[in-house]
């Protein structure tokens, strides 16, 4: 049975950004009950630095996300995880990370938390990253290894999962 056809898709039947959204919303709800600012009101200069760092991370999110989307579009394959992949994308940001879209979402998440000066979403970000890694990336990589056998194996040995 090992030589049978690969599955039709990764088996991820929900939009992966929802993991980040759920964690962020949970962080905002926690903040309402137990406020936790990153830079308190007594640290105005720190607040400015936190805001600038947040803006930089949001800019990095936009650049990386659009670069990854454009690379997928040029490869004529889908970003939807429950549709079959037409190609294994290894160019553009995929030369640096096997998951630049998920990495960009983490950058945007952190940037937004910093800009809003909310600590709880940042505390919950590692939980979102573990969930993405286990519930999404692991499934996608099993599918890609099945669909693109040797090509994916060589790619995975050459490029790290995150950075």
pLDDT per position as a tens digit, 51-107? 999 999 999 999 999 999 999 999 999 999 989 999 999 999 999 999 999 999 999
Confidence at residue 4, expressed as pLDDT on a 0 to 100 scale: 66
- Could you report the per-residue pLDDT of 105-130, keeping only the tens digit for each? 999 999 999 999 999 999 999 999 99
How far apart (Å, rounded) are the C-alpha atoms in residues 140 and 49? 37
Confidence at residue 3, expressed as pLDDT on a 0 to 100 scale: 56
pLDDT band at 137 (very low <50, low <70, confident <90, very high): very high
Confidence at residue 56, expressed as pLDDT on a 0 to 100 scale: 98
How far apart (Å, rounded) are the C-alpha atoms in residues 128 and 137? 12
CA dihedral of 47, 50, 54, 56, whole degrees rounded to 10: 120
- Could you report the per-residue pLDDT of 149-158, keeping only the tens digit for each? 999 999 999 9
């Amino acid at each position: 049975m090992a030589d049978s056809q690969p599955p039709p898709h990764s088996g991820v039947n929900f939009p992966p950004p929802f993991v980040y959204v759920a964690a962020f919303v949970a962080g905002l709800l926690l903040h309402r009950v137990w406020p936790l600012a990153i830079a308190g009101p007594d640290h105005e200069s720190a607040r400015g630095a936190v805001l600038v760092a947040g803006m930089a991370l949001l800019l990095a999110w936009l650049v990386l996300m659009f670069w990854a989307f454009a690379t997928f579009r040029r490869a004529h394959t889908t970003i939807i995880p429950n549709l079959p992949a037409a190609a294994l994308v290894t160019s553009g940001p995929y030369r640096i990370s096997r998951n630049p879209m998920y990495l960009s979402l983490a950058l945007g998440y952190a940037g937004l938390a910093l800009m809003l000066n909310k600590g709880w979403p940042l505390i919950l970000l590692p939980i979102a990253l573990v969930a993405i890694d286990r519930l999404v990336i692991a499934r996608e990589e099993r599918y890609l290894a099945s669909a693109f056998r040797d090509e994916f194996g060589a790619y995975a040995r050459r490029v790290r999962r995150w950075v």
